[in-house]
Chain A
């Protein structure tokens, strides 16, 4: 703890695969990899940060494993990232832990992707993901926000209503890339 955290310089995971990875983070990533093999792709391991990418069919299993075995107990944020060029919308869960003091610094990034449609009809199209609410209760409002901002419908979410936008918002989901701000 005495070491001040210095910002990682040029820490592009793909650029320097040979660089020695931090021990503790590596062990967590290894646990995930040994359990799920190809299902869970470890995208990078940095100081205090791990990123795991899973397909949407496996996200519930991986999330349950992360909660029960790796002891990450809450979600800090749920972010939707729109990739129109890949025709996908990525939903990123940042998971943290309060119960395990060893994990206090760690943030595990769980990313999954949903197909993207050109003419979205939020809630009625194929842009769907399973909700993690039953596993991480804290994602409830984050997923609601993600639904309205990107049109990703979370199945089994009890409350897929609007949160921040007006009730009568009838435009595109605003965080999609094809929703342009006027004048920019």
Chain B
């Protein structure tokens, strides 16, 4: 503490054999973050993730805005998964304000959130494909997700930033022919994503490259507190839709996909299986959904929560997404914290990349289902 250089700015001594690579933030294989990777030949000696390039202070902003105004900006961390990001916030505010969501809104929330999960996973899969040098796997999901984006646009009025969920229900009801349209598109979508297996998941080069890369054992997955596909690929059956069902999930038959291997291949396959499962859930929800009814309870103009705190979590595209709201009888939350899956999986990165080959770096990094913007909030 003698020289007051801030941490991270000091020069460090390294071995001459070791080469330090700055993977990011302006690197085609990094996303909006930096990985400081030290390589010895082709092997990674250490990896130090450095997120924060897209930190936007969502939590600080939330402290200055009331519960309704907070809705649109809280979905910004993951605009491709915006329904799921808002979901725990809405659940939490409903508990704080004591609101009861109408039955139809619960089902519509499930449908919107599952559609959004597919949209997110398609985007993720596209980037996973291009990171492994498979350009067709970039274009196909990026094209097929338009199908669902289009559907969501018809429901919510916006392509990606829906702001569809509000405390007390959903913003507006769906158009008249929604059920047929949704069923048709979901069926076609399912047929399409089944084709991905032939070109991507059964591809011998992909298998030889990703199997055995970055193996996360079951014990380590639990110890590191990972979540989502990273956790379920390591053999832990933990899906909040099944374990702690929220809204209408309790009445639906949800199957959680679990694989045992814990390698990059398993981690990349889980989201794909999740998409198939999402199609299943949407079909079930469309069947069980009440055909009419209100979708939102009226709120007072500037609602105040009590002197209370809530912690709600949902299963998002990247794993468990928690929202912790501390309320002190004000119209604004006193403290709002998003506990996001990407940030929780960040801890795996130095752990898994150490000792890997440099060529495995994108395969391992992106298989963690890490979304830099969400992790930075």
* Chain A residues within CB distance 8 Å of chain B: 1-15, 48-49, 51, 73-77, 79, 81-82, 92, 94, 98-99, 104-105, 107, 109, 124, 136-142, 145, 160-170, 174-175, 179, 181, 184
> Do the beta carbons of A7 and B94 come within 8 Å of each other?
yes
Complex Cα–Cα for A79 and B249 (A): 28
Interface on B for A, CB 8 Å cutoff? 1, 6-9, 50-52, 55, 57, 59-61, 64, 91, 94-95, 98-101, 106, 221-227, 231, 236, 238, 242-251, 306-311, 313, 320, 322, 324, 326, 334-335, 337, 339, 343-344, 346-347, 376
What is the interface of chain A mostly: helix, strand, loop, or mixed?
A: loop
Docked-complex contact B347 and A141, CB < 8 angstroms:
yes
Known: A81-B335, A181-B61. 16 other contacts (CB 8 A): A1-B242, A4-B106, A5-B245, A5-B247, A7-B98, A48-B244, A75-B225, A76-B322, A77-B324, A79-B339, A99-B222, A142-B343, A161-B7, A163-B51, A163-B52, A164-B55
> Nearest residue in B to A145 (C-beta to C-beta)?
B343
Contacts of B308 in A (CB 8 A): 11-13
The 6 A-B residue pairs with the shortest CB-CB distance, nearest first, are A138-B225, A77-B339, A74-B225, A164-B52, A4-B250, A104-B243
Task: Verify A3–B225 contact, CB threshold 8 A.
Answer: no
- Closest partner residue, chain B, to A51 (CB atom): B309
Residues of A within 8 A of B94 (CB): 7
Are the C-beta atoms of B250 and A107 separated by less than 8 Å? no
- Between A4, A137, A145, the greatest number of chain B beta carbons within 10 A of the residue's beta carbon is seen for A4
Contact A107 to B313, CB < 8 A, known contacts A79-B337, A167-B8: yes
A49 to chain B minimum Cβ distance, whole angstroms, is 6
A16 to chain B, nearest CB (A): 11
A165→B52 contact, CB < 8 A: yes
Q: Could you count the A-B residue pairs with CB atoms below 8 Å apart for me: how many are there?
A: 148
Can you list 10 contacts pairing A with B, beta carbon distance less than 8 Å? A4-B106, A9-B100, A11-B95, A49-B311, A76-B225, A77-B324, A98-B222, A138-B224, A161-B8, A167-B9
- B interface: dominant SS: mixed
Q: Give bound CA distance, A164 to B56, whole Å.
A: 10
B101 nearest CB neighbor, chain A only: A7
Name the CB-closest residue of B to A6. Answer: B100
Of chain A, the residue at the smallest CB distance from B93 is A7
Residues B100 and A138 in contact, CB atoms below 8 Å apart:
no
Q: Which of B244, B324, B346, B376 contacts A105 (CB 8 A)?
A: B244
Contact B250 A104, beta carbon cutoff 8 Å: no
Task: Select one of B7, B51, B55, B306 contacting A12, CB under 8 A.
Answer: B306
What residues on A are CB-neighbors of B6 within 8 Å?
162, 167-170
Q: Are B99 and A7 in contact (CB under 8 A)?
A: yes
Interface pair B243/A175, CB less than 8 Å apart: no
Do residues B1 and A105 form an inter-chain contact, with CB atoms below 8 A? no
- CA A145 – CA B187 in complex, angstroms? 43
**Are B223 and A138 within 8 A (Cβ)?**
yes
**B245 and A76 contacting across the interface, CB-CB below 8 Å:** no
Nearest B residue (CB) for A183: B64
Q: B335, A4: Cβ atoms under 8 Å?
A: no
Contact A124 B1 (CB under 8 A): yes
Q: Determine how close the nearest CB of chain A comes to the CB of B293; give it in whole angstroms.
A: 16
* Set of chain B residues within 8 Å of A48, measured between Cβ atoms: 244
Complex CA–CA separation, A171 to B17 (angstroms):
38
CB distance from A25 to the nearest CB of B (A): 13
With beta carbons under 8 angstroms apart, the residue of A4, A76, A162 that contacts B251 is A4
Partner of A98, one of B236, B245, B326, B346: B236
